[in-house]
Amino acid sequence: MSRSKTSSQISPTPSSGESIFSLYAPELTVSYAPDVFGLTRRTVEAADAQVEEQRFAWVAADLTLTSNVALGAIQEAQLRAQIDATHELVAINTDMLRALEHQFVKGYVGRLDVAAQQSQLAQVQATLPPLLKRLAQQRDLLTALSGGFPNDPLPEQFELASLELPAELPVSVPSRLVEQRPDVRQAEESLHAASAKVGIAVANRLPNFTLSADVGTMALTAATVFASGAGAWALAANVSQPIFHGGALLHDERAARAALDQASEQYRSTVVGALQNVADALHALQQDGDALSAASAAKDAAALTLNLSTRQFRAGYAGYLAVLSAEQTYQQAILNLVQAQADRYGDTVALFQALGGGWWNRREFD
Q: Is 285 helix (H, G, I), strand (E, B) or coil?
A: helix
Distance CA 195, CA 47 (A): 12
Q: Which amino acid is at 270?
A: T
Residue-level pLDDT at 239: 83
Residue-level pLDDT at 3: 56
User: By C-alpha distance, which of 243, 250, 134 is closest to 198?
Assistant: 250
pLDDT per residue as tens, the chain (366 positions): 455 554 444 455 666 666 676 767 777 888 888 888 888 899 999 999 999 999 999 999 999 999 999 999 999 999 999 999 999 999 988 988 898 888 888 887 888 888 988 998 999 999 999 999 999 999 999 999 988 888 888 888 899 888 888 777 666 666 777 778 899 999 999 999 999 999 999 988 888 888 888 887 777 777 777 777 777 778 888 888 887 776 888 888 899 999 999 999 999 999 999 989 988 988 898 899 899 999 999 999 999 999 998 888 888 777 888 888 888 899 999 999 999 999 999 999 998 898 888 777 777 666
**DSSP tag of 24:** B
Distance CA 148, CA 49 (A): 34
Residue-level pLDDT at 154: 82
Q: Which amino acid is at 92?
A: I
Report the DSSP beta bridge partners of residue 213. Answer: 30, 235
Q: Quick check: 198 and 260 in contact, CB under 8 A?
A: yes
DSSP result, 105-131: HHTSS-HHHHHHHHHHHHHHHHTHHHH
Q: Which amino acid is at 151?
A: N
Residue-level pLDDT at 171: 62
Distance CA 18, CA 5 (A): 9
Q: Which amino acid is at 261?
A: D
Give me the domains of the chain, ranges plus CATH numbers. Answer: 39-205+271-365 (1.20.1600.10)
